[in-house]
Amino acid sequence: MTEERRAHFRKIIEIQAWIADTMGDHWTEVRLLDISLGGVAFMSPQAIAIDQLRMFRCQLPGPYGEKMQLTVNTRHCVENPLFKTFRIGAAFVRLNEKNTAIITRFLEAGHDNQ
């Protein structure tokens, strides 16, 4: 693994999320798999090219569960032929203070995600 991937603690989570083009015109449901202060990994029904900016929406469970809309930059995309989906890793672009606080509270909590 690269140093960049190890720069932030990741918390595994499986919740519904959405991804769209940068204008937010066409939203697609995805499955959030993990989150860190550096970015997210999610399963998508469609491939997304590497180094593409996208809008990403999710709502973390529990008391930190405010809805977040974030800009991400895709870093990798790997096909899962068994499920006909794509595992995509994306880095946050200019994460604001509010969303940083929400994610930090979620990462520091002992939430079970069940």
Over residues 86-109, the pLDDT tens digits come to: 999 999 999 999 999 999 999 988
Q: Place 110 in a pLDDT band, splitting at 50, 70 and 90.
A: low
pTM score, whole prediction: 0.87
Specify which residues 78 forms β-bridges with.
87
Over residues 33-77, the pLDDT tens digits come to: 999 999 999 999 999 999 999 999 999 988 767 899 999 999 999
HSE, side-chain direction, 13 A CA sphere, residue 29 = 3
Domain locations along the chain: 11-108
DSSP per-residue string spanning 15-51: EEEEEE-TTS-SEEEEEEEEE-SSEEEEEESS---TT
CATH 2.40.10.220 fits 11-108, yes or no: yes
- Within 10 angstroms of residue 73's Cβ, the number of other Cβ atoms is 14
- The pLDDT mean for the chain works out to 89
- Token output for 37: 């202060």
